[in-house]
Amino acid sequence: MNILILGGGGREHALAWAVVQNPKCDRLIVAPGNAGIARVAECAELDIEDSGAVVEFAEAQTVDFVIIGPEAPLAAGVADALRDAGILTFGPSQAAAQLEASKGFTKAVCDAANAPTAAYAKFDEPEPARAYIREQGAPIVVKADGLAAGKGVIVAMTEEEALAAIDDMFGGEFGAAGAEVVIEEFMEGEEASFFVLCDGENALPIGTAQDHKRVFDGDEGPNTGGMGAYSPAPVLTDAIVERAMAEIIRPTLAEMARRGTPYQGVLYAGFMIKDDQARLVEYNCRFGDPECQVLMMRLGGQVLDLLQAAAEGRLAEASVNWSDDHAMTVVMAAKGYPGAYEKGTVIAGLDDLPESATQMCFHAGTRTEGGKVLANGGRVLNLTARGASLQEARDRAYAMVEDLDWPDGFCRSDIGWRALGQASD
């Protein structure tokens, strides 16, 4: 099987690493890829948001199966174009990807599906939005409707903050993404992520994880794309997962099918957990990054069979071969991230790192030049390990951090604190 993965971050390195382990994979191309991906696959230059270019490339390379990593090509309809051209594709249609691309759309689907989530109201003008905030009081959550690179959500602890967020959003701070605004009840609890493969009709859970969004130890500092993750997330017990499948996931899939836009791909549900119940915070229509890295570490080569079964509508007959293990990934970022940071600094020590079924350094933003690996983004490396316990996975991941020689990078030292029962400071 010739396989094409679209994307070039740590998520796609982890997907590529898992997919090439499956004997069904004859040839793997990743576009655009990065320096780490180039060690396991061919990398190709391609504008992955240009449907025509992606279809042409896939046809020219006789690709049998395309796996779409990030949300931008999904929101641009690349999966539709590939399927129209008769190419098997893992990833939702543009219409189904609305579950991530529009917060208002997701809330409407939840209403129809009767899925537990925060109470909300939607506004396209500032004055009624302000009146609603004054009426509801704080804390309250203000969200730009559209994709805003993870920055369109303001959790306002005071009314003033919420009103300022309204001014920013309707003032154009988030461009078209902020033309409509969703205002939500503030939900208390512990957050965790849940990943489900979907084939339009059936849903197959493939794991739970917890991310660390803040940049510094102790969950301090600004939000990032994620500084580390581990799987499984102990807060998502089997009982909570079962209930969430019955109350949230399956009703969502049924509602999407009823609307004529069945959901095929991975559904990444962000849950808020309190009193043994999950409520939906948000959906994403792709794997989380860096959550994907820990899921791939745990699932390995079977991932290709599972993604293919989802794309072919055969999930009813698929099952996950679980092992009773734990995985952790620690993100190394360029100093300054998520603010301004330097690109092009040299990363040494990579050749000394182990590459095995239990320890991998997935590359996020890297490139090679003159035989050296250079940092090429904010989040740069994902030191990922598996173990019989979370502590063992943690020790293996941080041992790799110690072996790296990259003075211009940093990481959090407390990934996993919640599950390991450590203090966060």
Residues that bind ligand GLY (CB under 6 A): 211, 225-226, 284, 288-289, 291
Supply the minimum distance, in Å, between the C-beta of residue 305 and ligand AMP: 30
Binding site partner of 404, from ligand AMP, ligand GLY, none, Cβ cut-off 5-8 A by kind: none
Q: 303 vs 71, 198, 215, 395, CA distance in Å?
A: 19, 13, 30, 26
Sole binder of ligand AMP in the list 66, 99, 141, 206 (CB under 6 A): 141
| 315 exposure class (CB count in 10 Å sphere: 0-12, 13-18, 19+) | buried
Closest CA to 410 of 339, 352, 310, 307: 339
Partner in contact with 216, chosen from ligand AMP, ligand GLY, none, beta carbon below 5 to 8 Å by kind: none
| Cα separation values, 216 from 201, 227, 288, 364, 394, Å | 41, 9, 20, 19, 17
* Among the listed residues 245, 244, 249, 207, the one whose alpha carbon sits nearest the alpha carbon of residue 229: 207
d(CA 389, CA 4): 34
Distance CA 347, CA 344 (A): 9
Q: Closer CB to ligand AMP, residue 80 or residue 100?
A: 100
216 binds ligand AMP (CB under 6 A): no
Give start and end residues of each alpha helix (H) in 284-375: 291-299, 302-311
284 contact, one of ligand GLY, ligand AMP, none, CB 5-8 Å limit per kind: ligand GLY
Mask 179-198, x = binds ligand AMP (CB under 6 A)? -----xxxx---x-------
Closer residue to ligand GLY (CB): 57 or 287? 287
Nearest distance from C-beta of residue 106 to ligand AMP, angstroms:
9
Q: How would DSSP label each residue in 159-197?
A: HHHHHHHHHHHHTTTTGGGGSSEEEEEPPPSEEEEEEEE
71 vs 408 by CB, closer to ligand GLY: 71
186 binds, among ligand AMP, ligand GLY, none (CB under 5 to 8 A by kind): ligand AMP
Residue 62 class from Cβ within 10 Å (0-12 exposed, 13-18 middle, 19+ buried)? Answer: exposed
Which of 200/207 has CB closer to ligand GLY? 207
The residue type of 56 is E
Q: What part of residues 375-394 is at the interface with ligand AMP (CB under 6 A)?
A: none
Q: Does position 118 bind ligand AMP by CB under 6 A? A: yes
Closest approach, Cβ 270 to ligand AMP, in A, equals: 5
Min separation Cβ 206 and ligand GLY, Å: 15
Torsion sign across C-alpha atoms 241, 248, 100, 104: negative
Q: Answer yes or no whether residue 270 interacts with ligand AMP by CB under 6 A.
A: yes
95 binds ligand AMP (CB under 6 A): no
CB closer to ligand GLY out of 152 and 301: 152
Q: Minimum distance from CB of 5 to ligand AMP (Å)? A: 25
Which one, 88 or 153, has the nearer CB to ligand AMP? Answer: 153
- Partner whose footprint covers residue 281, from ligand GLY, ligand AMP, none (CB < 5 to 8 Å by kind): ligand AMP
Token pair of 201 as six digits: 């009709």
Q: Could you tell me the smallest distance in angstroms from the CB atom of residue 149 to ligand GLY?
A: 10
Cis before 32? omega within 30: yes
Closest to ligand GLY by CB, 204 vs 266, is: 266
CA–CA separation, 396 vs 262, rounded Å? Answer: 41
Quote the CA–CA distance of 387 and 158 in Å, as a whole number: 43
> Do the Cβ atoms of 330 and 359 come closer than 8 Å?
no
Residues 150-179 within binding reach of ligand AMP (CB under 6 A): 153, 155
Q: Is 1 in the site for ligand AMP (CB under 6 A)?
A: no
The partner in contact with residue 225, picked from ligand GLY, ligand AMP, none with C-beta cut-offs of 5 to 8 angstroms by kind, is ligand GLY
**Contact status, residue 394 vs residue 364, Cβ threshold 8 Å:** no
Closest separation in Å from C-beta 3 to ligand GLY: 22
Listed in sequence order, the residues at least 6 apart from 297 whose beta carbon sits closer than 8 Å to its beta carbon are 14, 231, 327, 329, 358, 360, 384, 385, 386
**In sequence order, what are the beta bridge partners of 211?**
229
Give the DSSP per-residue string, 374-408.
EE-SSEEEEEEEEESSHHHHHHHHHHHHHH-B-TT
Site for ligand AMP in 277-306 (CB under 6 A): 281-282
In the complex, least distance from residue 336 CB atom to ligand AMP, rounded to whole angstroms: 22
Give the residues lining the site for ligand AMP (CB under 6 A): 118, 141, 153, 155, 184-187, 191, 270, 281-282
